[in-house]
Amino acid sequence: MTQSAKLRWGILGAARVNERLLPAIVEAHNSELIAIASRRPGAALETLKKYAPQQAGVRCHDTLEALLDDAQVQAVYLPLANHEHAEWALRAIARGKHILIEKPMALTVADIDAIEAAAIRHQVVVMEGFMYRFHPQHDRVREIVQSGLFGEVKFVRASYSFMMRPARMYRLAQNTDLGGGAMWDIGPYAIHSLQLWFGQAPVAVSAMAKYASTGADIATSGMLDFGDGKRGHFDISFECARRSQYEITGTAGTVKCHTVWQLPGDVPVISWSLDDGRRGEEQLLAANHFRLEIEHFSDCVLSGKPPLLTLDSARTNCRTINAVLKSAAAGRVIQPET
């Protein structure tokens, strides 16, 4: 493709998350927002006016196909509902578009395999949208964990929750097979952050869930076995106070990241304690991980670098989430399918 200083983006869907991602694309130094589409007439324009009122020259399409047919669009940000990710990702890739797919990339590993095969065929970049990974606070946590003072990582706890507001109850309208519920919505963060700190996939999972009458989970907790006594615990919920945190415990101490879901301007806090009595708390510089994610993706396309978040990691995440759902439904320990 022709190299340009800025990657030309289109947004496929007038989703709520555009509140964060649309300004991020506008602000990213190597990106340009040129189009947005929605199947609801007028919703694309309304979204643009709401989140980037000063932005001129953005084409607003009333069908998703029209955006994919827009030859000027080089990269697509895909924030459609979870069960629509694979289908629309494949359509975008077939038109030669690079694509950033919101988490979860897809509901099945087979769909991720199909996305990978299509991406190879059409020579495009694909990445799953875990914006949190682009916040520098996790690099600082890694430095602390790898300092040698904390010993070998043995246990990681990840907690993500918020009180579901009545206006968002549609997230519980579909059962978990169709991508509804907490495990497909906030569960991906929990599973991804446990796997991040163990650097591998779990060998077994055990989970419990509370369900809505639709078959969507409202809250799920569980244990991931990473082998050799290494365990990850997660709890996610739509009916608890807001939390987005993880805590890593090694043989000699514990490190905690207090707020993973950083909003622009939030102050990141990391605290730690050692068995020898030393403890500390650090306040880091604020950073906009949504913008950093977009800049990373654009940089990968423009300079040919591989994305930080790989398709293998998307597969591992998907496989683990499906194992968690299966374990909660069956009430027994499940080995994720390879």
Q: By three-state DSSP, how is residue 192 classified? A: helix
Among 31, 48, 68, 82, binds ligand NAP (CB under 6 A): 82
- Nearest distance, CB of residue 165 and ligand NAP, angstroms: 12
Instruction: Tell me how crowded residue 264 is: count the other CB atoms within 10 A of its CB.
Output: 14
Contact 324, 191 (CB under 8 A): yes
Among 6, 8, 17, 154, binds ligand NAP (CB under 6 A): 17
Among 40, 50, 278, 279, binds ligand NAP (CB under 6 A): 40
Interaction between residue 115 and ligand NAP (CB under 6 A)? no
Q: Which stretch binds ligand NAP (CB under 6 A): 76-84, 120-128, 267-275, 304-312?
A: 76-84
What is the distance between the alpha carbons of residues 237 and 161, in angstroms, rounded to a whole number? 5
Contacts of 37 (CB under 8 A, 6+ apart): 10, 11, 12, 13, 14, 44, 60, 61, 62, 63, 64, 66, 67
- When the beta carbons of 74 and 262 are compared against ligand NAP, the nearer one is 262
- Nearest distance, CB of residue 155 and ligand NAP, angstroms: 27
Interaction between residue 79 and ligand NAP (CB under 6 A)? yes
What is the distance between the alpha carbons of residues 263 and 250, in angstroms, rounded to a whole number? 29
Residues in the chain: 338
Contact 28, 294 (CB under 8 A): yes
Interaction between residue 247 and ligand NAP (CB under 6 A)? no
- When the beta carbons of 182 and 311 are compared against ligand NAP, the nearer one is 182
- When the beta carbons of 76 and 223 are compared against ligand NAP, the nearer one is 76
Interaction between residue 15 and ligand NAP (CB under 6 A)? yes
Per-residue mark of binding to ligand NAP, 171-200 (x: CB under 6 A): --------------x---------------
Instruction: Tell me how crowded residue 37 is: count the other CB atoms within 10 A of its CB.
Output: 25
Token pair for 316: 């591992």
- Nearest distance, CB of residue 205 and ligand NAP, angstroms: 21
CA nearest neighbour of 98 among 300, 318, 293, 292: 300
Contact 193, 260 (CB under 8 A): yes
Q: Which stretch binds ligand NAP (CB under 6 A): 16-24, 148-156, 230-238, 274-282?
A: 16-24
Q: Which stretch binds ligand NAP (CB under 6 A): 39-47, 203-211, 240-248, 303-311?
A: 39-47
Among 7, 14, 28, 323, binds ligand NAP (CB under 6 A): 14
Phi then psi dihedrals of residue 154, to 5 deg: -120, -30
Per-residue mark of binding to ligand NAP, 207-246 (x: CB under 6 A): ----------------------------------------
Phi then psi dihedrals of residue 67, to 5 deg: -70, -40
Dihedral through CA 43, CA 48, CA 14, CA 290, nearest 10? -170
- Contact set for ligand NAP, span 48-67 (CB under 6 A): 64
Phi then psi dihedrals of residue 245, to 5 deg: -145, 155
The DSSP symbol for 26 reads: H
Among 52, 67, 68, 80, binds ligand NAP (CB under 6 A): 80
- Nearest distance, CB of residue 38 and ligand NAP, angstroms: 3
Q: Residues interacting with ligand NAP, by CB under 6 A?
A: 13-17, 20, 38-40, 43, 64, 79-82, 102-103, 129, 131, 185
